Chains A and B, each alone.
Chain A
Amino acid sequence: MLKYIIPLVLFIIMAVFLALGLNLKPNEIPSPFINKPAPEFSAQKLNAPDERLSPADLKGKVWLFNVWASWCQSCRAEHPILNQLAQQNAVLIIGLNYKDQPVNAKNWLDTLGNPYNNNIMDQDGRIGIDYGVYGVPETFVIDKKGLIRYKHTGPISAEDVQQIFLPLIAKLQTEI
């Protein structure tokens, strides 16, 4: 009897581990920033290089910090979703134009629409490093106190908006 039970148990253990492995997403690295203050920056605005924006200016507001670039294919897929989200006026959307040429970025916004309340430039990727950005697009949700509450890696889908972003934003808007 034992002769059959041992291989069966081994098989089940292996099957469980493999099943867990199938559902892991090695590309999604847990962010160490959750519930920590959004790292400081003072960066030039894309549409007005003379003006600067920093997280301190956004204190008291819930905002999305969306990392994007015109060379990024997945950002193209994400863009219509952001446009729809912007129409709902539920949240401020700040764009981090990551390692991009301003001309290309402006072109992109002119042709595909501009969901952003503001865009800042990070041509050499330093703000990206401060936010632990390793793939574009990435989106941070930042609360009224300036704490990062959620990080989304990869393009946001319509389901993500309905299931994750809108409920979280609604909750954060009620916080003081």
Chain B
Amino acid sequence: MDTVPDQTTQLPLAPQARNPGMGLDLDWIGRVQANTSAIERRCATLPGRRSIKKDHQAAWLLKAVSCIDLTTLSGDDTPGRVARLCAKARQPVRPDLLAALDLPNLTTGAVCVYHDMIAPARAALAGTTIPVAAVSTGFPAGLSPFHLRVAEIEESVAAGAAEIDIVISRRHVLTGNWQALYDEMQAFRRACGKAHVKAILATGELGTLRNVARASLICMMAGTDFIKTSTGKEPVNATLPVTLTMLRTIRDYHQATGHRVGYKPAGGISKAKDALIYMTLIREELGRDWLTPDLFRFGASSLLTDIERQLDHHVTGAYSAARRHPMG
């Protein structure tokens, strides 16, 4: 039984106001602490503390689908490959299953591609509300000339990307150049205009959880709409400790400013069970409000297949096989 009634859960969620950012507060950055062992303990015990079964689990998994940024970021992407991905985004789960689950119009949260694939993606998604997200700013390393990185954002926005996933300059974090990181993020946000911006921290390259927390706060202060863990190209991508660290900075930022910033773990989440654990962590640390595509996305590709199989099992009672679910 839920003994802490959440008053907001039954209300329709209003579209999120964007994060306007704030001045760079270096005192705050200086106070940031992250105790790795304690954070790991919280993450290790969480799956034992919350369990989601049956209809509830199906509903949570459907929510996960609605929050997926279905992604292809390969050098060999072609319009045909992207069209296939977009078809999957429009119909992420077999229609018979969605009908049985009473959510026939479910789509993924977005489709995420490189700049050159924006146009094919837009074409393939015509007639839907599914946004196209483009990785940008010299993704994944972010080491191309600054003016080109800004220009890349502008071109992608012009090409119709509704969301831009930028990569931060890791060197600014590693050298403690917070002002430079703040300025860079502000410039990227400005360049995005109406498009929403997700700041990829590449947490696997930041060395410590404290750096993750500091970089998260700087990007939020500079006005990012989302903070995102990884490009998917680093040796270590999304992890629960990194997630918990980032969620806690989102909570602190919200507490201090009233602005809600979204969260996107990317890379390495491929199982339905893992998705539930991430969502549980968000529900516990940030609350139900954050579990909406406006404030939460999974950057994933193979996760969807596993979720489909679980949903199939939920509907039919029999374990499913991947080949029975259309590929993306």
Report if A and B associate in a common complex: no
Residues of B within 8 A of A (CB): none
